Copies of this chain bind each other. A is one copy, B any other.
Amino acid sequence: MSLNREIDQIPNSPEGLADYVAGKLGCPVTIEDANHRIISYSSHETNVDDARSATIMQRKVPEHVVNGLWQAGVMGNLFESATPVFVSPLPSIGLGDRIAISVWKNKEVLGFIWAQTEQAKMGDDEIRQLKEAASLASRHLQKQRDRKREKEENIRSFMHHLFQGTAGSHAEIEKQARKLHLSLEGSLSVAVLEFTESITPSVERHASYLTETFRRKNIISHMFENDLLLLLIHTHEDEAENVTQELLRGFRDKLEERTGISGIRSTYGKVCTRPEDIHVSYRQAQKTLELKNRYPEALSGVTTYRELGVYQFIQEISALYEQENYKNSVIEAIKAYDRSHNTSLSDTLRSFLHHNSTHQAARQLHIHTNTLLYRLKRIREITGVDLEDTNQKTKLFIDLIIQG
């Protein structure tokens, strides 16, 4: 008998759907949305494996199970087509025999139906029934997706205003946050992730999924903007800086692992306690990313605005120099000398200023300490610069970044 003939028995709320399907297949069934949150599960109480019971308890599939499924290629297959996928037991994640199918609407995966096939036989008929169950689930999941989409759209619009600083007063922001059931208490920060390649739908799916599962409490929302992924990060006030840093690193590592893309650049801005300061954090995160792209080696270890040091204003000084037609004559003289004498006083000076130590600089340059001292003496003689004077020294350090 097919499902179509018993149309009167088809439940019209998602809650009963799993039980209905389970009855047809004769084994435990769970229905999940695209983010692995449980929509509905059948009421079997025996022969349940670890993965299933943990999933039901948490109302979502545990992280390590999802990871395992991705690694085993199961998720890839499910996203690939609407045909059922047979899954061999994966004891490492507590998963027994399964058959799974993805639920589609047009070109989009709305969720999955999982059947624990431990004892049951899956013949052509059961498979056909599973496919029909998927098309049945599609209607339910569509509604849920639309509700979620609308909510997300509202949140994203709110985020946009927060990032641009156009969200209004503190009171107005709080009101709006309450309306959207968002908590903006504690510490807030904006993170920006930049991909080495442009964002494909697959990358977008992974990113979206991660923001909704990976330390979900801490990531309020995400949005894409010009090939960048923006996150609004929320942490407890204590140790907010460290937690944010560690959170972002973890997020990025996971994203690289999931997407297979390496070299994702991630930065974040000021960690603030007032939501009306979020736009400052946003600008800082953007600027930090910009500067990391401009000075990749020097800023390779930098994640946040605060760590930029002098690079925080290096572009502004550079613009000022441009405008004032200014060139540091000391550097000009050294570079001219280097050219005509085939020496490397410029590099020597840079290394010395960078390390602020003759010993370390000499070691980095593979030269004798006295050679370095001699070169510094030559620099003094040629340019008249006084490296004892912190002001001149500091100026040189900065100008060398700009003038090379």
Q: How far is the CA of A157 from the CA of B87 in the complex (A)?
A: 91
Residues of B within 8 A of A353 (CB): 390
Q: How far is the CA of A309 from the CA of B397 in the complex (A)?
A: 11
> Contact: B309 with A395, CB < 8 Å?
yes
> Contact: A393 with B356, CB < 8 Å?
yes
Is A381 interfacial (CB 8 A cutoff)?
Answer: no
Is A325 interfacial (CB 8 A cutoff)?
Answer: yes
Is A261 interfacial (CB 8 A cutoff)?
Answer: no
User: Given B310, B355, B391, which contacts A309 in the complex, CB threshold below 8 Å?
Assistant: B391
Most B CB contacts (10 A, CB to CB) among A280, A311, A397 go to A397
Q: How far is the CA of A206 from the CA of B315 in the complex (A)?
A: 46
> Contact: A394 with B391, CB < 8 Å?
no
Instruction: Considering the complex, give the chain B residue whose CB is closest to the CB of A355.
Output: B390
User: Given B311, B329, B394, which contacts A306 in the complex, CB threshold below 8 Å?
Assistant: B329
Is A45 interfacial (CB 8 A cutoff)?
Answer: no
Q: How far is the CB of A209 from chain B (nearest CB, A)?
A: 34
Instruction: Considering the complex, give the chain B residue whose CB is closest to the CB of A392.
Output: B309
Is A129 interfacial (CB 8 A cutoff)?
Answer: no
> Contact: B391 with A310, CB < 8 Å?
yes
Instruction: Considering the complex, give the chain B residue whose CB is closest to the CB of A284.
Output: B324
Is A398 interfacial (CB 8 A cutoff)?
Answer: yes
| Residues 109 to 145 of chain A near chain B (Cβ within 8 Å) | none
Contact-residue size bin, chain A (C-beta under 8 Å from the other chain): 20 to 34
Copies per assembly: 2
> Contact: B280 with A310, CB < 8 Å?
no
Instruction: Return the CB mask of A306-338 against B: 1 if under 8 Å, else 0.
Output: 100111110011001000111001000000000
Is A283 interfacial (CB 8 A cutoff)?
Answer: yes
Residues of B within 8 A of A329 (CB): 306
Q: How far is the CA of A325 from the CA of B392 in the complex (A)?
A: 28
Instruction: Considering the complex, give the chain B residue whose CB is closest to the CB of A287.
Output: B324
Q: With A325-B280, A353-B390, A354-B390 as known contacts, state yes or no: A395 contacts B320, CB within 8 Å.
A: no
Instruction: Return the CB mask of A271-284 against B: 1 if under 8 Å, else 0.
Output: 00000010010011
Q: How far is the CA of A81 from the CA of B105 in the complex (A)?
A: 105
Q: How far is the CA of A27 from the CA of B389 in the complex (A)?
A: 63
Residues of B within 8 A of A320 (CB): 313, 316
Q: How far is the CB of A49 from chain B (nearest CB, A)?
A: 47
> Contact: A394 with B310, CB < 8 Å?
yes
> Contact: A324 with B283, CB < 8 Å?
yes
> Contact: A312 with B390, CB < 8 Å?
no
Instruction: Considering the complex, give the chain B residue whose CB is closest to the CB of A389.
Output: B309
Residues of B within 8 A of A277 (CB): 325
Q: How far is the CA of A133 from the CA of B306 in the complex (A)?
A: 79
Q: How far is the CB of A303 from chain B (nearest CB, A)?
A: 14
Q: How far is the CA of A321 from the CA of B371 in the complex (A)?
A: 41
User: Given B311, B325, B393, B395, which contacts A312 in the complex, CB threshold below 8 Å?
Assistant: B395
Most B CB contacts (10 A, CB to CB) among A277, A317, A324, A390 go to A390
Most B CB contacts (10 A, CB to CB) among A320, A324, A329 go to A324
Taking Cβ atoms with an 8 Å cutoff, the residues of A that contact B are 277, 280, 283-284, 306, 309-313, 316-317, 320, 324-326, 329, 353-356, 389-395, 397-398
Q: Pick 24 A–B contacts, CB within 8 A, sort by A.
A: A277-B325, A280-B325, A283-B324, A284-B324, A306-B329, A309-B389, A309-B391, A309-B392, A309-B394, A309-B395, A310-B394, A310-B395, A310-B398, A311-B391, A312-B326, A313-B313, A316-B320, A317-B317, A355-B390, A356-B356, A356-B390, A356-B393, A390-B397, A394-B398
The 4 lowest CB-CB distance pairs between A and B, nearest first, are A309-B391, A309-B395, A356-B390, A313-B317
